[in-house]
Amino acid sequence: MREQPDFREQPDFAALLRHLRQQRGWSLRALGRKIHLDHSVLSRYENRLRVPDPQEAARLDTALGADGALHALAGAAARAAAPAPSPVPVRGSGAVPVSGLPPAVGHFRGRDEEIAALTATLTAAGPAGATTTVYKVDGPPGSGKTALVTEVARRTRAGYADGCLFLDLHGYSEGAEPLPPADALGRMLRRLGVPAQALPDELDERAALFRDRTRELSLLLVLDNARSSRQVRHLLPAGPRCATLVTSRNRLAALDDAEHLTLSGLTPAAATALLHEVSGLPDTPATRGACAEIVRRCGHLPLAVRIAAARMRGETPLDPRRLAGQLADEQRRLAALDDGDRSVRAALELSRAALDPAESELFVLLGLYPHESLDAQTAAAVSRTSPATAGHLLERLYDAGLLLRADPDRYRFHDVTRTYCRAVGRAELSPDQVAVALRALLDHVLRSCANAELRLNPHRYRFPSAADPDGPPAREFAGHADALAWLNDELPALVLLCRTAGEQGFLAHCWQLAHMLRGVFFLGRYWDEWERTHRWALAAARRAGDAAAESATLSNAALAHSTRNRLDEATGLLDEAIRVARAAGDRHAEYTALGHLAWVHHLAGRHEQALAQELDVLDFHRAEGAPRKVGIALRDAAAVERVLGLHPAATAHLLEALDLFSQLGLLLDGAMALNCLGQVAADRDAPDDAAGYFRRALAAARACGSRYERARAHLGLGLLAAAERSAVRAGCHLALAEREFTALGALAESAAARSARSALTPPHGDSRPSAPGPTA
């Protein structure tokens, strides 16, 4: 049996602590959990960066079986480190007491701008400064706040003749309570030479003594890991040549006079460089993709990147491709970001533990929202509170460093924080809680989309809404432009919510949301989103056994395919839509699909068949008394008649359609009809009429927000100008058309505009006009 060492003969507390811990195979974090002490404190003990506390040493004695040796060594170390009861060194004497500043962080990366800003401020606040400077640095857990201020303090401390004091306030420390202001003042005063027996008992008296002691000093104070402004307010020195750096996960908004810096993730390049430096992994083509994926999944957060790097360099190093695979799985990501001594999840749990119940509840519910950014109305819906209450709670989560600000009225998660939030939700929310919150959110979104769609297409056919009318209030919109702006801004979130609705069994919400979004899809040419949502919507409608929903979804999906010239796919979907509608006896759905099929025949070159079918559809809608459908059928029939050379019939049909659209206030449909009228007039060799229609189309397209119809009008005007040999005017219109078509992915139309520009004859030998700047 191996002989046990005599612990009492070990002369050094740090060496003995490390020996005993490693002998038991415990990590710093594991030992910290056993004695309820933050592992960072233990790390500082083992690295001789902190004087051991006798009470903590006694707990370590018990946990490690040291027979009192650690407690004895801690007492000796505390006596040796106790400051002599002498006055503070005189400024300029050369004695610069650096107290407790942590060691510089190895491989410090990616904070050059922040270091420059802080260094400039602190240098100005040194001996030549005139006022006390307070700089607060906040950010989410693991963003490198302590590393940043430590680096800055090391670079600037020489400018403070009376030294640098560092104090960990334990605002967010595992196993440790936040340091009370009175205790913090006691520690700083002792380091400034005040004997323990001379310290006042009352907080206000200690604060007054601290201000008095620092009034004539040139001192740099670093207050790390603060919980609140209240914890910090009494700790600020009074001297005009003093400066204070404060770090916190909380924004400490009540420190009114402090300058402010918020940290987030590193840049992708800096995060990748940090990963390679800490892991020692060379940058090679074979691993480059995996490393880029690792830092992306880490949200470029320094703590997460360092943990990932540590897992790639340990005794059993993890291949970067395998680690990237673990991080790609959201349910395994937090476990992968734990190296035994450090854990992203543990850091975030400390922040959540500081929230009050209402804040914590909202934080967890926000994980149900599938997009990265949100506002108070969205938060109010998912939490079933008022927008005012939700706005207040969001601001508190932002102050706590658990949310970032996306815009003045919007918030977003850091990637890693969102992963944690969803993990907590999976663990803590019951299926009923999830269902209630999602139902409220989807009701709010569906009714809001209905209000927006009403502004865009006021006469479109509508199904009875699946949303509870007594659910969370819907958004209201001032007009067409307001509704369109909201739909465009929220579209990524609305698409994700459509998928979520289908996945969570809210089938009617799923297909109705897709149906409501068709208008903005068509207007903005969002083909991929259109196809994805209607694929989910079709599955939902079929699962629900709703024939009307299935037929409408098939028709809408086919329209997206036909507009992208995928005519076989569109025909198959429309044949199915017609079959489903006829089986259900739904004549409205049947003729909607027949109208779309007539357009597919036209695109495929079967113009006579298309016109006959379109006129049949027109007769049905006239009999049904549906003016918007009548106008669309008239316009589509006219487009076919134009190709067939039936210009009088096309003009008559388009003028009737335009009159209907004007009566109904349908700006987009009107712009489309005007562009068609311009094309027919150009075919009839009536350039003045054509130009007038195209200009009216341009104005209508601008009013409704259709870039595609605006581009069509520019193309028409450009071709007319080219025919008149007006190369400059033609070049401007054609360049605008080409730019818009290209941006919308309308490649055939863009090529036509580009070809027309290439054919222009430059006037007076000048070069062909270049594309003008953006239009209003």
pLDDT in tens, 393-411: 999 999 888 998 888 889 9
**CATH code 3.20.20.70 for 7-81:** no
Q: Is 113 helix (H, G, I), strand (E, B) or coil?
A: helix
pLDDT for 760 equals 84
CATH of domain 105-262: 3.40.50.300
Residue 127 CB: number of other CB atoms within 10 A?
11
Residue scoring higher pLDDT (544 or 53):
544
For all residues of the chain together, what is the average pLDDT? 87
Residue with tokens 């006390």: 132
Query: What's the whole-number mean pLDDT along residues 429-457?
Result: 95
- Which of 112-126, 170-184, 300-314, 539-553 has the largest mean confidence? 539-553
Q: Where are the alpha helices (DSSP H) in 298-400?
A: 302-311, 320-328, 330-336, 344-353, 357-366, 376-383, 387-399
Fold of 347-429: Arc Repressor Mutant, subunit A (1.10.10)
Q: Tell me which residue of 95, 98, 215 sits closest to 164, measured CA to CA.
A: 98
pLDDT for 125: 55
- Residue 361 CA to residue 196 CA, distance in Å, equals 44
pLDDT of amino acid 117: 86
* Distance between CA atoms of residues 197 and 189, nearest Å: 11
With a cut of 70, say whether residue 567 has pLDDT above it.
Answer: yes
CB atoms within 10 A of CB 775: 12
| Contact (Cβ atoms closer than 8 angstroms) between residue 624 and residue 588 | yes
Q: Which CATH number fits domain 670-765: 1.25.40, 1.10.155, 1.20.58, 1.10.3470?
A: 1.25.40
Query: Is pTM beyond 0.85 here?
Result: no
pLDDT in tens, 186-231: 999 988 888 888 889 899 999 999 999 998 888 999 999 999 999 9
In the predicted model, what is the mean pLDDT of residues 715-721? 94
pLDDT at position 89: 43
Residue 771 has pLDDT above 60, yes or no: no
Q: Is 604 exposed, middle or buried (0-12, 13-18, 19+ CB in 10 A)?
A: middle
Question: For 455-490, how does the pLDDT look when each residue is reduced to its tens digit (9 = 90+)?
Answer: 998 888 889 999 999 989 999 999 999 999 999 999
- Closest to 401 measured CA to CA, from 450, 338, 440, 352: 352
pLDDT tens digits along 571-607: 999 999 999 999 999 999 999 999 999 999 999 999 9
Q: Over range 117-122, report the average pLDDT.
A: 84
pLDDT in tens, 27-58: 888 888 788 777 777 877 887 777 787 777 87
Q: Could you tell me which residue, 44 or 329, shows the higher pLDDT?
A: 329
List, in order, residues 6 or more apart from 493 with CB less than 8 Å away.
369, 370, 371, 373, 374
Extents of the domains making up the chain: 7-81, 105-262, 268-342, 347-429, 670-765
Quick one: average pLDDT of 744-756?
89
Q: Which two tokens stand for residue 558?
A: 């086919």
Render pLDDT for 224-233 as a digit per residue (tens, 0 to 9). 999 999 999 9
